[in-house]
Structure 1
Amino acid sequence: MAVDVRRPSAGALWQMTAALIWLPQAALLAWAVQRMADGLGVVQIWPMAAGVLLLGLLRAWLDGHGGWLANRAAREQLSQLRAQVVRALGQASPLDKARVASGQAASAVVEQAESIVPWLARYQSAMWRVRILPLAIVAVVASQSWVAALILIVAAPLIPLFMAIVGWRAKAASEEQMLQLGEMNAFLLDRLRGLSTLRALQAVDMTGQRLREHAEGLRARTMRVLRIAFLSSAVLELFSALGVAMVAVYIGFHLLGTLQFGAWGGKLSLGQAMFVLLLAPAFFEPLRELSAVWHDRAAGEAALQTLKNMQSQSVAIVGAGVLLKDECTALCQPVQLRVVDLMVQAPGAQSPLAPLSLSVASGEHVALWSPSGSGKSLLLAQIAGLLPVQQGRIELDGEVLDEGSAARLRCRMGWMGQQTHVFSGSVPRNIGLGRDKVSAAQIAAATQQAHLDEALVSRAGMSLGEGGAGLSGGEVVRLALARLAVREEAGLLLVDEPTAHLDPVTAAQIAQALRRMAKGRTLLVATHDAQLAAAMDRVIELPVLPLRPLQAEEPSA
């Protein structure tokens, strides 16, 4: 992710041209004043007035058109940045504990990223005007009076110096503000999702107190940014006013004859003095604009750094960056699975587990049996390519699962995690997960296989709530089974604890539906349910592992 502000954009060039038009405008105004001082009438100066008007209209159009071009280019760059971040978040492993929280990611991509637009649209144009316009004005002023030009040259460097000193602190303050904002949004979204649990535990007041602490921290950091902004503006106005005042004092004493030096070979005329006085404030105008957008730069760079960090901190799904030429349309064929010396390791874990080897025949139904916390979920996640393989290999029908083959081999897998996310939408959309190739007939068949049609018959035509609000635990598991059933091309089903936290009757129904769904396919199910394990063709008992399994938070597919 890179943003290049070193080369001027088309919008910046248009706006810089508009700023340079002030030079002929000031010349026409000074000429008109000189001619009026010479006793000429209004008839003699109307061409200069018309020229000032026409140049002013041209300047306004150039500046407005340049601003529109700059804003459009900034919007396009922001859209590309957002697409990169969303793509990176989509490729991140759902089992990575270091992955950015949903609330923080939404705040960064939607809200904080907007700070990049003023930085790209305004700061770049202001920076190029600072580089070009003061030099042009100094050159023109020097042609009239070297003393006035010297005053401008001496006063100008003090402004960028103090702005840079203040700007270093402004960037740090903006980064702290955005970090606090992201943490508060993540905290708020997490607590809203668990509001019913907080009420049951009578922890609403405690949560409100913590939210107030977050808000107070954000207020303090925001006020710190504003104080720095006011300080830099005060410094700029002080030195700008001093520079213009010194030029005006010199011009005044020069016209009075007190200071008879500074002009090239003589005394400045009234028109020449007027020309210099008109250009002196314009010399500092680009610096004022730069000061106004200096904090846009600090906020934009802080937002860009936040987006970069969001991409670099996540563990990517194996083969997530590989695009398939054809969609997953292969016929359902049972898959032979072979795991050879696989080192099961969670992201960020310091001590890997002992190498593991196992083999599952084509069409065989196998249960991974071990107590909770022994690494069954991690093993299934690595087989599915949701976690990278550090050592060993995974083979499906003799083909090694790696970066090049993972995306294609995943087309032959169906995944059902422990935690099924239900998003706000209809039942068919929750089952199809946005796949264009899934027809209404396939969704109807999947709901029937999972017995979901009977459980949700009363919700026909209605949308489900975010997070599965209003659904029982058994209904959520049936929805996950329906998502699994709609993957008709999947020859390997990877299922993680399908009967956990269910009553015995519902667990037996889920187990029966799963076995029926897996007929003619290879099934690998992680469980500590003795009845479900006994119903499988074979049970593989894993050793007790010293790692706590991670829970997937993505929709089952």
Structure 2
Amino acid sequence: MFSQLRLSQGRGRGSFFQTVASLIWIPQAALLAYSLQMLADGHGVRAVVMPALAIFVLAVARAVTDMIGLRLVFKSARARLGALRANLVQSLAMRSPIDPQRPASGMAASAMAEQTEAVLPYLVRYQPARLRATVVPLVIFAVVFAVSWLAGLILLVAAPLIPIFMALVGWRAKAASDAHMGEIGNMNAFLLDRLRGLTTIRALDAVGATAQRLHDTAQALRRRTITVLRIAFLSSAVLELFAALGVAMVAVYVGFHLLGQLNFGAWSDKLTLGQGLFVLLLAPAFFEPLRELSAVWHDRAAGEAALDQIEQLMQEGMHMPENGLRMVDAVTPARAVKTPPSITIRNLHFAYPDGVQVFNGLHAHVRAGEHVALVAPSGAGKSTLQALIAGMAIAQHGDILVDGVPLQADTVSALRARMAWIGQKPHVFAGSVRSNIALGRKEIGKDDVELALHLAALHKVPQAQPGVMLGEMGGGLSGGEAVRLALARAAANPHADILLVDEPTAHLDRETSEQVMRALLRLAKDKTMLVATHDPALIEQLDRSIVLGEEVRVRA
């Protein structure tokens, strides 16, 4: 996908218009040289009125063409950047939340914000510049060579020095940009992790150590940045020198030729003043696309480094190992079903990549519409079993059947569309209550949100009204209200007839727990529900319990 992106960017209509704008200078230079020749021949000012008018018209056409090209390139680059971010978000969303190899939140945020933004100059500046550097010098060389073969040879000899040096510099610039992008991601991941754990850091009196670590990371990023900038500035200076020498050599030849000191190098006996001026006007334009390409060479290095980082994140998201944890497939919309499904677990074996065995031949069955408590000591695998049922992890051996359909690669997407996961600590995003319930699902309208709030018993809570803005991590809601907001998310899903609930009443007082239990039982009506819990009051409200290792009926 990324190889196609790199090959296709900047070769559209926008780059074509910008290339045409650069080529318009050739007839402008010819008209200017012709006007000077006419004045030198004594034809007077009248002879240059029409050429001057044509030069003005071409200048306007050149400006308009370049503006159109730049606008088209920028619009196309922004659209492609949006698609890149959407693909990256989808890839990251496909990672299992219990996957220990998933990228840190700070690194993912850096990839979506800073690193994708670094791709924009690569698309807007470098790609069109590369096309102009490919086409414009060749056309100008052909025109100059038709006037003076020696001037053409000078350009032909001087031109390769720039791309050769650019290639040599590019290898070093690419490596420096790769290291720079990686350092940015690592620093963001470190900073976000420490901000989240600020309370713990203060409690452990580790503020000084954390500050020192942050200082060291910032200094490492500073050194990486200086390295990248040093390469960019030094390479630009050297390339400007090569371009200036090339123009100077052409100027020296034309000057001595017109003075009669060099009587060779032209197809005719001697170049006229107009021909000499025409060659001199085209010489800087010959090197201009190459100089521009060298100026944006750093954008190329930074853009490709960013693409490599993003590609690595996406490839990791698409990777599906034979054993251990796996990605979460994208959810496919499911049609509404009339009856809740059953869940059957047969001879289930699961171990984490580090070798810790969680299940070794687990058998269980949850009947259609049954509400079952999953009971086990902390760390015994309650949440892991729910993750396996939800398709967020893959077992080494055994089967999980949902309504008789085995959970496997070709069915997991459709089966997961029938499930709603309510975690122990639901995440609340900065935004309105309505957006936190809908979560971008276009099929969920205003009425669906209102009904979900009623089912979760939040409709009378002032700080949980649809238009109320919430802070990140649930600012504005109590712990119980945040749990009920997660219940409302599940209630708003018209396709969810399986509820996987993880410790909904943990860390809540008795009154709040009872409110959550009532809302949960209302939501679970006509649905199959599996609840991981230690709460005896909640267990009493459910049909029966499954204790890992044995099945015990708590209540008929």
TM band (smaller chain)? 0.7 to 0.9
Question: Please, what TM-score do these two structures have when normalized by structure 1?
Answer: 0.86
Structure 1 gap ranges (5+): 545-557
CA distance in 2, matches of 1:501, 1:194: 19
**Which gives a bigger RCO, structure 1 or 2 (Cα 8 Å, sep 6+)?**
1
Match in the other structure for 2:232:
229
Match in the other structure for 2:269:
266
Cα deviation per residue 1:14-71 (whole Å; 9 max; x = unaligned)? 1212212222221222222222222332222222222222222222222221111122
CA distance in 2, matches of 1:458, 1:262: 85
Structure 2 gap ranges (5+): 321-325, 551-556
Match in the other structure for 2:138:
135
CA distance in 2, matches of 1:427, 1:132: 55
CA distance in 1, matches of 2:524, 2:24: 76
Report the residue type matching 2:18 in the other structure.
Answer: Q
- Comparing 93-102 with 430-439, which one deviates more in the overlay? 430-439
Q: How does 1:417-436 map to 2 (within 5 A)?
A: 417-427=423-433, 429-435=435-441, 436=444
1:43 partnered with 2:49:
no
Match in the other structure for 1:5:
7
Q: How does 1:109-128 map to 2 (within 5 A)?
A: 109-128=112-131
For residue 409 of structure 1, report the CA deviation from its aligned partner.
Answer: 2.9
Match in the other structure for 1:446:
455
Report the residue type matching 1:184 in the other structure.
Answer: M
Count of aligned pairs: 536
Given candidates 370, 374, 381, the residue that maps to 1:375 is 381
Report the residue type matching 1:36 in the other structure.
Answer: L
Distance verdict in 2 for CA 1:143–1:334, change over 3 Å: closer
Aligned partners of 2:453 and 2:488 also within 8 Å: no
CA distance in 1, matches of 2:25, 2:510: 83
For residue 214 of structure 1, report the CA deviation from its aligned partner.
Answer: 2.8
SS in 2 for 1:313: helix
CA distance in 2, matches of 1:483, 1:134: 60
Match in the other structure for 1:97:
100
For residue 306 of structure 1, report the CA deviation from its aligned partner.
Answer: 2.1
- Comparing 86-95 with 517-526, which one deviates more in the overlay? 517-526
Distance verdict in 2 for CA 1:383–1:15, change over 3 Å: same
For residue 118 of structure 1, report the CA deviation from its aligned partner.
Answer: 2.2
Aligned partners of 1:318 and 1:406 also within 8 Å: no
Aligned partners of 2:247 and 2:283 also within 8 Å: yes
For residue 400 of structure 1, report the CA deviation from its aligned partner.
Answer: 1.7
CA distance in 2, matches of 1:399, 1:507: 35
Given candidates 148, 151, 154, the residue that maps to 2:151 is 148
Report the residue type matching 2:227 in the other structure.
Answer: R
For residue 319 of structure 1, report the CA deviation from its aligned partner.
Answer: 7.1
1:162 partnered with 2:162:
no
SS in 1 for 2:425: coil
Report the residue type matching 1:247 in the other structure.
Answer: V
Distance verdict in 2 for CA 1:311–1:271, change over 3 Å: same
For residue 516 of structure 1, report the CA deviation from its aligned partner.
Answer: 6.4
Cα deviation per residue 1:106-151 (whole Å; 9 max; x = unaligned)? 3322332122222222222211222222122222222222222221
Report the residue type matching 1:182 in the other structure.
Answer: G
Distance verdict in 2 for CA 1:337–1:510, change over 3 Å: same
Cα deviation per residue 1:282-335 (whole Å; 9 max; x = unaligned)? 1111101111221111111122222212212236887734633xx55334x343
Aligned partners of 1:368 and 1:541 also within 8 Å: yes
1:20 partnered with 2:29:
no
1:465 partnered with 2:466:
no
CA distance in 1, matches of 2:217, 2:159: 42
Given candidates 310, 326, 330, the residue that maps to 1:307 is 310
CA distance in 2, matches of 1:319, 1:93: 5
1:323 partnered with 2:323:
no
For residue 402 of structure 1, report the CA deviation from its aligned partner.
Answer: 2.9
Distance verdict in 2 for CA 1:22–1:380, change over 3 Å: same
SS in 2 for 1:343: strand
Match in the other structure for 2:365:
359
CA distance in 2, matches of 1:276, 1:382: 73
Report the residue type matching 1:339 in the other structure.
Answer: I
Report the residue type matching 1:526 in the other structure.
Answer: A
Given candidates 383, 398, 407, the residue that maps to 1:401 is 407
Aligned partners of 1:250 and 1:259 also within 8 Å: yes
CA distance in 2, matches of 1:130, 1:489: 55
Aligned partners of 1:96 and 1:314 also within 8 Å: no
CA distance in 2, matches of 1:398, 1:56: 73
Aligned partners of 1:319 and 1:402 also within 8 Å: no
- Comparing 88-97 with 186-195, which one deviates more in the overlay? 186-195
- Comparing 71-80 with 386-395, which one deviates more in the overlay? 386-395
For residue 467 of structure 1, report the CA deviation from its aligned partner.
Answer: 0.5
For residue 536 of structure 1, report the CA deviation from its aligned partner.
Answer: 4.8
Aligned partners of 1:427 and 1:463 also within 8 Å: yes
Match in the other structure for 2:177:
174
Match in the other structure for 1:335:
341
Match in the other structure for 1:295:
298
